[in-house]
Amino acid sequence: MATTLVSPLVLLSLAVGPAAAAGGHGGRPGGDRPLRQLAADDHLRVGTAVDMAALAQDATYRRVAGSEFSSVTPENVMKWDALEPRRGEYDYAAADRLVRFAERNGQKVRGHVLVWHNQLPSWLTEGDFSATELREILRRHITETVRHFKGRVWHWDVVNEAFDEDGTLRDTLWLRALGPGYIADAFRWAHQADPRATLFYNDYNIAWAGPKSDAVLALVRTLRAEGVPVQGVGFQGHLGVQYGLPAGVAANFRRFERLGVRTAVTEADVRMILPADEEKLRTQAEGYRLLLEACLRTRHCVSFTVWGFTDKYSWVPGTFEGEGAANVLDESYTAKPAYCALQAALAGRARPGALR
């Protein structure tokens, strides 16, 4: 079913205020065109993580999620503890609802996530499994999940956050039991289950050069040389105003692209110590713009995803005490300078390329 694309600024008759100034325009950059239309001019999909409770209960959230973005990522409902809360009993209902929502709104779905050390069901973390048993459990989870969504999920985050900040592999259930080979196995199993889905390694603090980014680069280079189907690298992009903004992001994206992979910003948000003020909001807008511009300058950066779009449902306050206001719309769905900065970046260029 076709959906009329309406910017939240129009949909809710929102006052932009300082947002227009952030874009350097007397009015809204891009006019009333939503982000998804502006991004299409750049051969880019712009997406959001989706909170399924908000999607079900909040009509405004539902309208904006459907009209403003061209891809969606499940915030939680494709994680292992949600899909298989009891061993052998799969519950795809919530994830299926998100996929149907995306299909109704002409959106692609990024599957998140197949292999991670967090949000695992207790039967798995508390079980006494041999390495052989655990390998089979992992193989079955990846295979069953990817097959269930075969042809309906565009990109999969296959392995998530496998490295520590110093560039060593993170000490996880998977590494301890299976050794580093679990990463290659995961990609091979996912590819066998759906050869047409694009498979990503996804992590935070790798958008700029450093020990962690260098280690991921080396891993991807090695795996691809061995024929492992690592086809994309996702840069999460969780930034904090109080830490300053990173340098060299575009150059870092390009060194990954030289490996022959697609890239994506997968989880962008820019948090701050509360309360927000004009200076923090300006810096936040610059952080979002920096990430998006790096993607736009990278020929095969195929998507830019914000990790939620309204502060009303942000994960940040529940995780970082005293911090928040991380998204591009505030709790009342009013556009912040960050939203206008994204509009301006997308309206300011027409990037050649193709969505894949």
Active-site residue set: 161, 267
Interatomic CA distance for residues 248 and 51, integer angstroms: 32
Cα 266 versus chain centre, distance: 2
CB 241 within 8 A of CB 271: yes
Interatomic CA distance for residues 248 and 232, integer angstroms: 20
Cross-strand pairs, 156: 111, 199
Cross-strand pairs, 235: 203, 265
Interatomic CA distance for residues 2 and 193, integer angstroms: 30
CB 35 within 8 A of CB 329: no
Interatomic CA distance for residues 140 and 344, integer angstroms: 45
Cross-strand pairs, 155: 110, 198
